[in-house]
Amino acid sequence: MKIAVFASGNGSNFQVIAEQFPVEFVFADHRDAYVLKRAKNLGVQTYAFELKEFDSKQAYEEAIIALLNKHAIDLVVLAGYMKIVGPPLLAAYEGRIINIHPAYLPEFPGAHGIEDAWKAGVAESGVTVHWVDSGVDTGQVIKQVRVPRLAEDTIESFEARIHDNEYQLYPAVLENLGVERKVD
């Protein structure tokens, strides 16, 4: 199964994935995203272009679809990709796009799951991997884990534990979906 990873920034989830699974390419929606450096260091092909370079979001997504088709991608893995997937990409890859979210959905959807959970004072939050649909973090859940908020936590320590759980959960889900691990 050929996978492509989409990211917008740092790329720590990409790094964890690429160290364990063959990644056909990384797509970043920002030309200066650090994930592109991570990919180059791991020998993974990269592509980057920005929505503002296109006349419309449809044209932007059609360019993404062309890349996916060129590489015969089976599964799109969103790992900190901060764009809402629109109708063209959803239609072309329906049932073949997954996302990781740093909260226990349906709790705290959107771009600030960790911060929102922290501000709400919850006793626990979590991590969710789900199929992508037309909503924001509303797709069918594939797998979730709970992450407790400890009495001594700061938002930084809480966030670090959530990310540590992401780094365990995403590879487990990929393997369960039939993505073969790298052979040493």
What does the pLDDT average to over 142-152?
A: 98
pLDDT at 184 over 90: no
Could you tell me whether strands 3-7 and 25-28 are parallel, antiparallel, or unpaired per DSSP bridges? parallel
Query: At 183, is the pLDDT very low, low, confident or very high (cuts 50, 70, 90)?
Result: confident
Convert the pLDDT of each residue in 70-95 to its tens digit: 999 999 999 999 999 999 999 999 99
Closest among 30, 37, 41 to 6, alpha carbons compared:
30
Among positive and negative, which fits the CA dihedral 85, 61, 80, 182? positive
11, burial (CB in 10 Å: exposed 0-12, middle 13-18, buried 19+): buried
CA 17-35-101 angle, to 5 degrees, is 60
pLDDT band, very low/low/confident/very high, at 38 (cuts 50, 70, 90): very high
- Pair of tokens at residue 67: 């890349």
Catalytic annotation on 163?
no
Q: Is residue 179 within 8 Å of 75, Cβ to Cβ?
A: yes
Q: How many angstroms separate the CA atoms of 100 and 57, rounded? A: 22
pLDDT in tens, 54-69: 999 999 999 999 999 9
Question: What is the tens place of the pLDDT at every residue in 99-131?
Answer: 999 999 999 999 999 999 999 999 999 999 999
pTM assigned to the model: 0.96
Average pLDDT, stretch 4-13? Answer: 97
150-173: average pLDDT: 98
Q: How far is Cα of residue 134 from the mean position of the Cα atoms in its chain?
A: 16
- How large is the average pLDDT for residues 11-25? 98
In the chain the beta strands, taken as DSSP E runs, fall at: 3-7, 25-28, 45-48, 75-78, 97-101, 124-131, 141-148
What residues have CB less than 8 Å from 91, skipping those under 6 apart? none
From 71, 101, 112, 130, active-site residue: 101
Query: Domain spanning 3-176: which CATH class is it, in words?
Result: alpha beta
